[in-house]
Amino acid sequence: MKVPFVDLYAQYLSIKDEIDTAIRTVIAESAFIRGQHVEGFERAWAKAAGARQCVSCANGTDAILIALRALGLKPNIEAAEPTTDGVIRALSTQELAGRRVAVQLYGNDPNLTLMRFLREREADITTVAPYVYGNAADDATVQALLERMAAGEVDAIAFTSKLQIERLVTQHPAPLVRRALSRTLIAAVGPIVAEAIRSHGYEVSSSPEHSWFMKPLVVALSETLQAKKDKDHSGLA
């Protein structure tokens, strides 16, 4: 018997009316950042957790960073480039033999290059997998999205990991993927993802120049979409 790891849709259905009402209210009030709804969530979560107060974050990375700062912890070794090669160069000057090194895995990617380096340096490796992509996650929804993209109904698509583009091009019909991505602006969160996209022959229209996480990605994509809108309007004038 196949038991799904987690069924978020079933959870949603159990409180569908409450969620839909909350989303409609936020959209109607354009209260996306801070405001009474965020403050209400923070009060409710603090009460449920038995804490004096709660600080909501945009993502898990922000939450971890705030927690580490509260404990007075900060990085001792920083990679000049946020890539596997950059991490290896930063660690190459360290004595790693017999030292415990925890490695956060990115989705289903085992990061064999980094693992090989650490084993060669005789480090004691512990892997941490905070999330795993479900390879069978709603293929019908992805197929429908590709068809809309191929029809020119989607302005842009953003990729935040190279596994997303790899899964898209390997598990869906190549002609459909080609038509879909050729008619849609493509954004990448950083150079690793951008390189993966280009390796399959597609152009990256938007990507942050320096800070490679979600907010700069949204800003870069917004600027690209605005530039396209201005160009389209000037062409009609």
pLDDT over 60 at 137, yes or no:
no
pLDDT over 90 at 113, yes or no:
yes
* pLDDT score recorded for residue 34: 77
Which tokens sit at 199? 């390796």
Residue 157's nearest CA partner among 202, 90, 93, 110 is 202
Q: How far apart are CA 158 and CA 232, in angstroms?
A: 21
- Give the mean pLDDT of 39-59: 90
Average pLDDT, the chain: 86
Angle at 215 between CA 209 and CA 216, to 5 degrees: 10
Which tokens sit at 51? 């804490």
72: amino acid identity, one letter: G
Q: Which range, 63-72, 131-140, 186-195, has the best average confidence (pLDDT)?
A: 186-195
> pLDDT over 70 for what percent of the chain?
92
CA atoms within a 13 Å half-sphere pointing along the CA-CB vector of 120? 9
The secondary structure element, H or E, covering residue 78 is none
The band of 142, judged by pLDDT with boundaries at 50, 70 and 90, is confident
pLDDT in tens, 9-24: 888 899 999 999 989 9
- Which range, of 58-67, 80-89, 156-165, 168-177, averages the lowest pLDDT? 58-67
pLDDT over 80 at 175, yes or no:
yes
What single DSSP character describes residue 109? B
* pLDDT score recorded for residue 210: 77
pLDDT over 80 at 211, yes or no:
no
pLDDT over 80 at 164, yes or no:
yes
pTM listed for this prediction: 0.57
- Give the mean pLDDT of 18-40: 87
pLDDT over 90 at 125, yes or no:
yes
Residue 109's nearest CA partner among 132, 130, 87, 88 is 132
* pLDDT score recorded for residue 138: 67
